[in-house]
């Protein structure tokens, strides 16, 4: 029997929340240029991880205005973020064991205006020095 594994397909790393709309029906509005880079489709399931507060939630993606840098949390989840928070947006894919072992997820790094940037893994992530964690 070939076991299926749920693997990280892609993520938009440390995007800045540009808005939160409590009264919208739900979802996360994402600049479609970022959606394309991360291979996220309209209405695709995504997980959102708030770097500032540690909250995590699931929703679906919808496209905003191209080139706008929009990252807007809609509906009830708007209570879990504030404008300016950093979030990680993750998408998933199921694959068999052989595919999973060879799989490399797409990692999309962005600047403070949610524009894609190149990132050297040996360097600090954008915005990394700005947050403090109490232990």
DSSP string, 48-113: EEETTT--EEEEEEEE--TTS--EEEEGGGGGG--TT-EEEEEEEEEEEHHHHHH---EEEEE-TT
- Looking at the predicted structure, is the pLDDT value of residue 132 above 90? no
Residues known to be catalytic: 27, 60
CA distance 72 to 20: 5
The residue that leads in pLDDT, 108 or 125, is 108
Residue 18's domain comprises 8-94+103-116
- What is the tally of structural domains in the chain? 1
The answer to whether 77 is a known ligand-binding residue is yes
Query: Is 75 annotated for ligand binding?
Result: yes
CATH number at 24 reads: 2.40.40.20
Q: Is residue 123 part of a domain?
A: no
**Is pLDDT at 129 greater than 90 in this prediction?**
no
| Residue 61 assigned ligand-binding role | no
How many other C-beta atoms can be found within 10 angstroms of the C-beta atom of residue 41? 12
The answer as to whether 84 is a domain residue is yes
Asked if residue 127 is part of any domain, the answer here is no
Whether 122 is in a domain gets the answer: no
- In a domain? residue 131: no
């Amino acid at each position: 029997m070939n076991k299926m594994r749920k693997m990280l397909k892609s993520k938009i790393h440390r995007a800045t929340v540009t808005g939160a709309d409590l009264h919208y029906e739900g979802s996360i509005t994402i600049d479609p240029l970022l959606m394309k880079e991360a291979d996220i489709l309209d209405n695709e399931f995504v997980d959102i991880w708030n770097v500032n507060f540690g909250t995590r939630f699931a929703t679906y993606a919808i496209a905003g205005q191209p080139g706008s840098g929009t990252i807007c949390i809609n509906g009830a989840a708007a209570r879990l973020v504030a404008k300016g928070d950093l979030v990680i947006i993750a998408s998933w894919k199921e694959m068999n064991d052989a595919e999973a072992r060879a799989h490399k997820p797409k990692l999309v790094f962005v600047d403070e205006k949610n524009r894609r940037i190149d990132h050297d893994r040996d360097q600090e992530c954008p915005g990394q020095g700005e947050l403090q964690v109490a232990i």
